[in-house]
A = this chain, B = another copy of it.
Amino acid sequence: MTDLLHIDGLIAPRSVAVIGASEDVTRIGGRPIAAMLRAGYAGHILPVNPKRDTVQGLPCFASVDDLPMIPDAALIAVPAKLVPETIEALGQKGCKAATLFSAGFAEVGEAGETAQRQLVTLARRHGMRILGPNTLGVYNVDIGYYGTFSSSLDTGYPRPGNIGIASQSGAFGAHLGALARDRGLGCSVLITTGNEADITVAEAIRWMAESDGTDVICTYMEAINDAPALLAALDVARAKGKPVLAIKSGRSAVGARAAASHTASLTGDAMVADAVLSEHGVVILRDPETMMDIAYAASKMIFPTRHSLGIVTVSGGAGIVASDEAERVGLPMPAMPDKAQAALRQALPYASPVNPLDCTAQALNDPSLLELFTRSGLEEGGYGAVLCFLTYVAGSKAMTEVILETMAPLRAAYPDRIIAFCALGAPEVLARYDDAGILVFNDPCRAVRALDAVLRHGADQAHGATFLQPEARPVTLPQGTPDEAQAKALLAKAGIAAAPELAVTSAEAAVLAAEAFGYPVVMKILSPDILHKSDIGAVKLNIANACAVREAYDTILSAAQAHALDAAVTGVLVAKQLSGGIECLMGIHRDPTFGPVAVFGLGGIFVEVLNDVSLRACPFGPEVAREMILSIRSAAILRGARGQTPADIDALAQMLSRLSVFAAGAGERLVSIDLNPVLAMPKGQGAFALDAVIELDRQEVAEHAH
């Protein structure tokens, strides 16, 4: 909480010292002062520069010491080498928040990184928070605070509004701000975090989530430097009902990074980030324009509870194009009730009143038709949003008044629903609809995409089931890497079932085990040193009788010896051979950002060729596991495609949830788990791990041994 107070001083200061203040309004030390003067910042601007008495008409102070008050915030625009003494002086003065424009730290290599760490230590000593270094700064539109040197202000100032932006990249954040402004959208704050030595995007999101002026949060992230803080911030935003729209860049690196275990190679950071952030309610986007489309729609703060769209159109063609897009993005367009259809058909015989509702060009002659169709969509259709395709008709000055007059009562009558126009025309004409509370888009497909996001947010807020997150209990891991039997035993304690099996050390014991399970059986080598058992011929399937068991026992041991004389062999595993199920894969891998992440997919080709997997951060309950299982593209196979019996999805979900709880409890030594295959038996008959590999961090083992 203390931390957040400090950030408040940084983003909404009542006084700001500018260290390295400049008379030149194009320089880093001059731009913020000029901007604040121009914007009418009501706080105190305190320029500091030993060489001047005044700066841009303000009294200037020779040093931080000389300041007549303790500033809420400081802007530091001095060369890197002078930054430490500046921080020290500010700290002694009692300033608790500094924005460091200065570059030349972590971004220039190791020496800079060390200097940056030292800055943070220094600031901490004084209880001071730091934004940057290498940041473009902050602005806070409502109070006219421009703690930034962004040249985006050269082309105009932001309008006040409820869209907040947090960006690691300064230029990209300012681009978003300028984009919003050029579209006529209002912003609350822009916070760019630069090198994130101290304050991260996570904290900026948290501030926006908790403060009053921001209702929609836009963010741009590259690395995620503080995952727990980010997830906590997202959860606050969600609880407050504020949508978070994010561009997480660096997707094209996916697949290029080496990954330690097989399962890890399937995931890749971007996929993990997408999965985890989506789970916390984030709308993940690729381009700035779509972000602003959604921010615009969300900024009206109407979040209908139903995720459904009605389209009213004066052009049959446009209605179809928009409907195609709705289907593509998964926005439902239910048909109108029969009775309502009949009523509309009576009003306009050649209308197509199903959905899209085509009121034809006739609506140009009789705008009451537009009203009638839209009202019916809202009332009888019950759609969360109605999009009216009016194109240039709405842009004609002659029509504007008529349309506004007809639609305004409707807008008032359905305050909890969205009414949007797809319209072309002069900006000042279209602004009139926007002023009347009607969303305006140029493109029908962009409108559909933006509405979909806002409607999803509303439905999520209204119906979003919040599943209890299971508690992870500490798991005791063995010292060394477990062999398959040990791995299965460990997982069995966590409630994860394997096929009936026994580890044996003689051919006769193998026969006894096989006869107890019933034939056929499977036999495999047990060795923590041999990971790819089948590749070396140390796995035998379809073993049908005692004689074959004995033969397999010998063959497997010889194969293992031939492979590696020094491999530690702990025995042979005899397992009942199950059949008739569907092969799946479950795994865990430790993501450097989000910790243990579970992966699920169908076996073999589906995962390796089609990369058809779903991911979640651990731990999670069986409901989430179920969603995860059913979200893969090939889920139809588990559901019983091609006339087959449906698989035991409940058992799979239990197993996956338990695996996630196990992984969360296992701590940092757990590198990966690979259950491949897991056999999902027909519904009611369970799911069984047929193989299990647990990889532990050897380094840590060594350390524990000390």
Contact = CB atoms under 8 A, between A and B. Distances in A.
Given A154-B392, A155-B396, A315-B175, A288 B445 contact: yes
A317 B172 contact: yes
Contacts of A323: 252
Contact of A321 (B178, B287, B445, B446): B287
A634 B602 CA distance: 15
Interface stretch (A61-69, A324-332, A461-469): A324-332
A320 interface: yes
B608 A252 contact: no
Interface string A148-178: 0001101100000000000111111011001
A610 B391 CA distance: 38
Contacts of A446: 287, 289
A636 interface: yes
Interface stretch (A243-251, A372-380, A684-692): A243-251
B637 A286 contact: no
A425 interface: yes
A155 B392 contact: yes
Interface in A382-428: 391-393, 395-396, 398, 424-426
B320 A249 contact: yes
A108 interface: yes
A175 B442 CA distance: 10
A635 B212 CA distance: 53
Contacts of A286: 321, 324-325, 328, 445
B154 A321 contact: no
A186 interface: no
Contacts of A178: 391-392, 395, 424
Nearest to A441: B289
B169 A324 contact: no
Interface range, A side: 35 or more
A182 interface: yes
A155 B636 contact: no
A298 to B, nearest CB: 19
A551 interface: no
A410 B328 CA distance: 42
Contacts of A395: 155, 178
Can you tell how many copies of this chain the complex includes?
2
A250 B178 CA distance: 37
B424 A318 contact: no
Contact of A175 (B222, B287, B289, B424): B424
B426 A155 contact: yes
A321 B287 CA distance: 7
A609 interface: yes
Nearest to A169: B317
A604 interface: yes
Interface string A95-134: 0000000000001100000000000000000000000000
Contact of A172 (B250, B318, B642): B318
Contacts of A249: 317, 320-321, 324
Contact of A287 (B172, B396, B426, B445): B445
A155 B391 CA distance: 11
Given A151-B396, A175-B318, A608 B641 contact: yes
A467 B156 CA distance: 55
B287 A167 contact: no
Interface in A245-299: 247, 249-252, 286-289
B154 A396 contact: yes
A266 to B, nearest CB: 14
B391 A642 contact: no
Interface in A587-620: 604-605, 608-610
Q: Which of A323, A442, A642 has the most CB of B within 10 A?
A: A442
A183 to B, nearest CB: 9
Contacts of A317: 167-169, 171-172, 220, 222, 249
B175 A391 contact: yes
Contact of A179 (B393, B396, B442, B642): B442
Interface in A619-674: 633-634, 636-637, 641-642
Interface string A319-346: 0110111111000000000000000000
A608 to B, nearest CB: 6
Contact of A424 (B182, B634, B637): B182
Given A152-B392, A318-B175, A641 B609 contact: yes
17 contacts: A154-B396, A169-B316, A170-B315, A171-B314, A171-B391, A172-B317, A174-B392, A182-B442, A249-B317, A252-B320, A287-B445, A288-B444, A289-B445, A289-B446, A605-B634, A608-B642, A609-B637
5 nearest CB pairs, A to B: A169-B317, A171-B315, A287-B445, A172-B317, A252-B327
Given A154-B398, A174-B392, 8 more contacts: A151-B392, A167-B317, A175-B424, A182-B425, A222-B320, A251-B327, A252-B326, A605-B642
